[in-house]
Structure 1
Amino acid sequence: MAVKRRAEREISEREKVVKKMRGEEDDDPLVELKLCTENIILAGIIKKKLTNSDLDHLSRVILPGKQVRNYVLPFLYPAELDEVERGNGRGGLMVRVKDLDTDTIHWLSFKKWESSGSYKLGLSWIQDFVKRRNLHKDDEIVMFWVDDDSTRRGFFFSVVKRFYPPPDPSLCEFAREFLSLSPLTPDYNSAWKERCSSIDDYLAVRN
């Protein structure tokens, strides 16, 4: 048993070294927790910081091409890959997307964006994700493809970091003008120090 644990640690350390050489970050602890809850083992995680174009009327989110090619496309059937890469005159491959945060199932279209070499998830992206989850620019999401069970085959989605914009300056001005904080409670020791003329007096009071 001890030999097995040592071997597992060595494998884990080697994986960390490889990640560091590739410039990849360790997986987000929150995502790892969700994966454990769902009993999921996956090839890799697609990370994306949302931009304005992911949130507007175009109704699609752009996924990094390299990550999709590494972590999703190898697990598609030939007919599915053909729909994603070429579209066959249609809107792409319809894929199941589970929101890990809300435990809900959605369906989006998945296809290659020819002009950039990236990939996009569309159709009801705005309604089912942007509006429903109140997503904003610079929020960070992760997505990954699960292929171990036909009943849940598809993308899994999670919001891992929210971007909170700075407060409205007008509200700050209002607070400065009309709101006031309670006065600070004087420090007990400091008050006695000010009343004592010498350190000996101070020590006498303390004792």
Structure 2
Amino acid sequence: MDANQQEFENPFGMDEACENCPELCGPRERVVHGYGDVGAEFLVVGTGPTAAAEANGVPFTGAGVGERVQSIFADLGFVRSTPEATEPDVQNVFFTNLTRCRHPDRAPTDREVDTCEPFLNAEIRMINPQIIVPVGERPLRELAVEYTTRRPDSFDIEAEHATTIRGRGFELVPMTDPASMTDTEVTAFVEHMRENVLSRDYRQTKGRQSR
């Protein structure tokens, strides 16, 4: 963790009263910005906050998807708290989403993803990760547009799960939707991370000085 970091929750002080999407201002409970280590070399990107994450104000927390993701990254040594923690104790990982507000009745629209893009781009720029983990099909395709040379429609999250994709400046290690992930897929992701990412000097994916 960066020695100058004061807190994990929204460490960059992004707008918590954002009104860029008026249709979300009423239905949402709160704006959920990124959470984690600002010096992280691993960035985890989902589509948007779940109901549990919105209630906690922290991405990838709460029953279901949140606890599963926390458990996976705890197994890999990035999370030092229990999976049900609402404010996880993390190291070398930052959790965020394409969108920051949740509509209780539908998935984010393309316009909402585009409107939130500056928040994500700012986090990526300030964190400067080595590895990005897109969680689900939509984050994988959105990141592919910006950071790989492949067409977005050439990606299939089921096929790309637990693989490494070369990006421009870092690597992508996709994860399939945790809500439907099988135990076999969990094992495959953890093993790929241990054997193909954490076991080598992943810092060589781009030229930068270590922190």
TM-score, structure 2 normalization: 0.24
- Higher share of residues assigned strand: 1
Normalising by structure 1, what TM-score?
0.24
Q: Relative to total residues, which structure has the larger helix share, 1 or 2?
A: 1
